[in-house]
Amino acid sequence: MEQSWYRELDLDAPSPARVYDYFLGGSHNFAVDREMAQRLVAVKPDVAETMRANRAFLRRAVQHLVEVGVRQFLDLGSGVPTVGNVHEIAQRAAPDARVVYVDVDPIAVAHSTAMLAENPLAGIIRADLRDTETVLGHPVVGKLIDFAEPVGLLVVGVLHQLPGDEPLGAIRRYREVLTPGSYLALTQVTQDGRRTDSTELLKETFDGGYAKGADVMTMRTRPEVLAFFEEFELIDPGLVFVAEWRPEVEVPDPERLSTYAAVGRR
């Protein structure tokens, strides 16, 4: 049975999942999403670069976790499938890797379901990641994730959509069930490093533009981001701006992209 907070498909309003898909060059977006994207670009011209940097971090983090032996991933706020999905990255390096995706967005879930139909080692569930007991108790999670073994918990590009302390409580609950050797990888939008008018305007545009004001952009400071990693040890290079996390190419002025990234190990 669906719960009231599920965001129903509303093609008259933009969705963050589909706007992100547009910025990554995907095709699962509508005119209303592309208009929203243009409004975001108008106030912060490097917003597309920010989203691509976020996605590139996800890829580098998953590749690293597979290299160090992680074989199961729980990807919270997984998005519309696009180039370089977690199961593709992980299973290319380790064909036995298992992935469960979690998202609230109906389009993200529909496309993920179709993409994973032939993949017995990956699944998608539609849930609010803050509803931890629904996620942890879901049969797909029960089938694919063995919490006695290390898990890569991915919370990438989603925390800015979750206001207040709720996400901290949720991540704390997920961390509780992770065995030593597990990892948490996350990104978080921030104003640290550079508090610019464009970041303020981006927030205003984001808050005003998305459906029924349900989505507000929450920035977090360095100490607030570190709080997600209690009892986890940050692996090298620690909490850095997203393009600085084990970069493959040098990005000038990385704080410009207003996003932190880190990976921690239990």
Binding residues for ligand SAM, rule: CB under 6 A, are 16-17, 20, 54-55, 58, 77-79, 102-105, 108, 128-130, 156-158, 161-162
Residue with tokens 């109906």: 106
Closest CB to ligand SAM among 121 and 162?
162
The sign of the torsion formed by the CA atoms of 196, 197, 200, 206 equals: negative
**Nearest approach, Cβ of 34 to ligand SAM (angstroms)?**
16
Q: Supply 104's token pair.
A: 């609230």
**Nearest approach, Cβ of 183 to ligand SAM (angstroms)?**
15
Task: Give the whole-angstrom CA distance, residue 79 versus residue 103.
Answer: 6
Task: Give the whole-angstrom CA distance, residue 212 versus residue 209.
Answer: 8
**Nearest approach, Cβ of 104 to ligand SAM (angstroms)?**
4
Closest CB to ligand SAM among 103 and 255?
103
Closest CB to ligand SAM among 65 and 129?
129
**Nearest approach, Cβ of 53 to ligand SAM (angstroms)?**
10
Task: Give the whole-angstrom CA distance, residue 79 versus residue 96.
Answer: 23
Closest CB to ligand SAM among 58 and 178?
58
**Nearest approach, Cβ of 111 to ligand SAM (angstroms)?**
10
Amino acid making up residue 131 = D
Please tell me what DSSP assigns to residue 229: G
Task: Give the whole-angstrom CA distance, residue 216 versus residue 54.
Answer: 19
By CB neighbour count within 10 A (0-12 exposed, 13-18 middle, 19+ buried), where does 148 fall? Answer: exposed
By beta carbon distance, the residue nearest ligand SAM is: 79
Closest CB to ligand SAM among 79 and 264?
79
